[in-house]
Amino acid sequence: MIPKSFIQDLLNRLDIVDVVERHVPLKKAGANYVACCPFHNEKSPSFTVSQSKQFYHCFGCGVHGTAIGFVMEHLGLGFVEAVEELARGAGMEVPHERSPAGEYFQKVAPDLYEVMQTATRFYREQLKQSPRAIDYLKRRGLSGEIAARFGIGYAPDGWQSLAAAFPDYQSESLSETGLVIVNEEDHKRYDRFRDRIMFPIVNVRGQVIGFGGRVLDKGEPKYLNSPETPLFEKGRELYGLFQAQKSIRGMQRVLVVEGYMDVVALAQLGVEYAVATLGTATTPYHVQKLLRMVDHIVFSFDGDKAGQKAAWRALENALPQLQDGKRISFLFLPVEHDPDSFIREFGKEAFEQRVQEAMPLSAYLLREIGAGLDLRSPEGRNQLLQRAKPLLTAITAPATALLLRKEVAALAGVSQGELEELYEISPVARASRPSPRKAGRPAPSGNRLLLQCLIAQPALGAQLPVEWQGDGAEGEAVLALLAALREADGTLSGPALAQYFQGTMHERTLAAAEADMLSWGEEFDVEGEFAGLMNSFERDRRRQEFQALQVKVVQGGASSLTDAELELYRRGGR
């Protein structure tokens, strides 16, 4: 775990304008900076970055966050990766605390990346010297230009060929990166990849973290991947994502295929938004990572039994990650084709047409759970309900869950309410999304203004009475914020506070409050507003006390009051 104090220090050193401008051109607009949102298509800029408050907000699609959140969303990184990326640029080293399980996060030694880069250069040089490997790539229809773009190379058919690239062949870094295998009995070493076309696996920062090797002739395994290493975790990486990032973001669509050769062949023929899983089924993390980047994921699998199985596994892992407003589709090519062979035989236009016509996730789910069932009989409808239960209960996106529940209920001949009662799940709640304040909108409530004042100047929280009680979402957010400040001894800053509440029930409330703060001018008097709120809260408290005294007098007379209560009663609560 990364210490919270480090997150705060990092955010305090960063300027979010500098971070965002590395990826998105910004224009000054009053006290803030604006741009067309990088997360959705728009013609007029609604993406706003506040230098004074150190957060961004889009009034179009609602994305909101700190510098860390922006790097996560824009580059498709996890939290730890985003922190490490920003810390590297700030010249800071990320410390790690012991995790709850008692294990330590391992820092990756910089030389491991250098080892992988050296191996990549070696394999590329070996490709130039191997007519047989070059001939294989030509027969597969790949050009030298596309091979260079993806860094494709060749691993010679020798047991210790890498010794030519690494004078210290006994180095632990070679086994740690999975380039060599060490025999457990005699401790002899040999290259993992031999006589294979080599596909470097690159992370979103352009660093080689692993390899995929394909045999030239017949042999098993057909594809061989790097093992799990400190650099490479196959369930979290996608082949070709680094090369495809620009196209994926531009089209807001990504095509997920099964093999490296599919990605490379599609890119050569103009379909540049394809990525591939790395010898594993599509994982929830894959789906989550891609949905951060795009509005539409299309899975393309072979039409055989293995392809059908892979598609269904992708659907199951995608359900908990679904987001309303984003789409997931499934493209099934004829059994005799994969994306590589299909696009070469029928061309880009025909392939793109198939992508456009891909089956929506909902249609695929309904087709599969109803396959082979007689829905005219009670038994068939009962079986449908049993098949659908684990799938529908996995969906957390409100609108998607609602619509699919209605569809399944209609097919089974029951009402939505009966289906929800049968599954023992709560009815889908109406999702309330915060909207930006428009001209003429009433002034913010006292609780919202208090929340904004504390975000702007957290030290003011020490002046809030201990007995203060908030109501509603904004009041609860104030109490949560005060608890966080006490836990951190009042040292949390504005951007660190926003990051602190990412992923909590208060995230949207804080985002809406911060979005309103973008309209504050430089002359906005935070301390004056806070003082006014304290006076208002004090008046409310005294009025409530007076009303309680009135009830007491009615029930027991003035004699039931203490001297202090009587004095307050005579003053009318003032």
Task: Transcribe 399-455 into DSSP letters.
Answer: HHHHHHHHHHHHHHT--HHHHHHHHT-PPPPPP----PPPTTPPPPPHHHHHHHHHH
Average pLDDT over residues 131-158: 95
Domain hosting 119: range is 110-232
In a domain? residue 114: yes
Does one domain contain both 81 and 121?
Answer: no
User: What are the distances in angstroms from CA 570 to CA 283, 502, 535, 543, 549?
Assistant: 70, 49, 21, 13, 10
**pLDDT for 410 beyond 70:** yes
Alpha carbon distance 88, 83 (integer Å): 8
Does one domain contain both 63 and 169?
Answer: no
Q: How confident is the model at residue 437 (pLDDT cuts 50, 70, 90)?
A: very low
In a domain? residue 452: no
In a domain? residue 34: yes
Question: To the nearest whole number, what is the mean pLDDT of the chain?
Answer: 84
Which tokens sit at 142? 């790949």
In a domain? residue 538: yes
**pLDDT, tens digit, 9 for 90 and up, residues 192-251:** 999 999 999 998 778 899 999 999 888 788 889 999 998 888 888 999 998 998 899 888
Query: What one-character DSSP code corresponds to residue 27?
Result: E
Give backbone dihedrals phi and psi of 351, rounded to 5 degrees, phi first: -65, -45
Q: Indicate the range of 27-41, 177-191, 528-542 predicted with least confidence.
A: 528-542
Average pLDDT over residues 560-569: 68
Average pLDDT over residues 50-68: 85
Among residues of the chain, what percentage have pLDDT more than 90?
42
Query: What one-character DSSP code corresponds to residue 436?
Result: P
Average pLDDT over residues 283-303: 88
Average pLDDT over residues 258-279: 93
Of 360, 426, 358, whose CA–CA distance to 392 is shortest?
426
Average pLDDT over residues 378-384: 96
34, containing H or E segment: strand 32-35
Does one domain contain both 116 and 212?
Answer: yes
CATH number at residue 382: 1.20.50
Which tokens sit at 104? 């330590």
Q: How confident is the model at residue 162 (pLDDT cuts 50, 70, 90)?
A: very high
| Residue-level pLDDT at 195 | 95
| Residue-level pLDDT at 331 | 96
Alpha carbon distance 330, 338 (integer Å): 14
Among residues of the chain, what percentage have pLDDT more than 70?
88
Which tokens sit at 430? 């109406």
**pLDDT for 352 beyond 80:** yes
Alpha carbon distance 567, 557 (integer Å): 14
In a domain? residue 418: yes
Q: Give the list of residues 6+ apart from residue 421 with CB closer than 8 angstroms, or none.
A: none
- Report the predicted TM-score, pTM, of the whole model to 2 decimal places: 0.63
Strands 359-360 and 327-332, by their bridges, are: antiparallel
Alpha carbon distance 249, 272 (integer Å): 11
Contact 422, 414 (CB under 8 A): yes
Of 541, 544, 531, whose CA–CA distance to 450 is shortest?
531
Q: How many CB atoms lie within 10 A of CB 173?
A: 17
Q: How confident is the model at residue 360 (pLDDT cuts 50, 70, 90)?
A: very high
Average pLDDT over residues 9-35: 86
SS3 472: helix
**pLDDT for 436 beyond 50:** no
Alpha carbon distance 322, 324 (integer Å): 7
Domain total of the chain: 5
User: DSSP for 182-234?
Assistant: E-TTT--EEES--SEEEEEEE-TTS-EEEEEEEESSS-SSSEEE----SS--G
In a domain? residue 500: no
Contact 59, 436 (CB under 8 A): yes
Does one domain contain both 339 and 264?
Answer: yes
Q: How confident is the model at residue 491 (pLDDT cuts 50, 70, 90)?
A: low
Q: Indicate the range of 184-188, 266-270, 545-549 predicted with least confidence.
A: 545-549
In a domain? residue 237: no
In a domain? residue 364: no
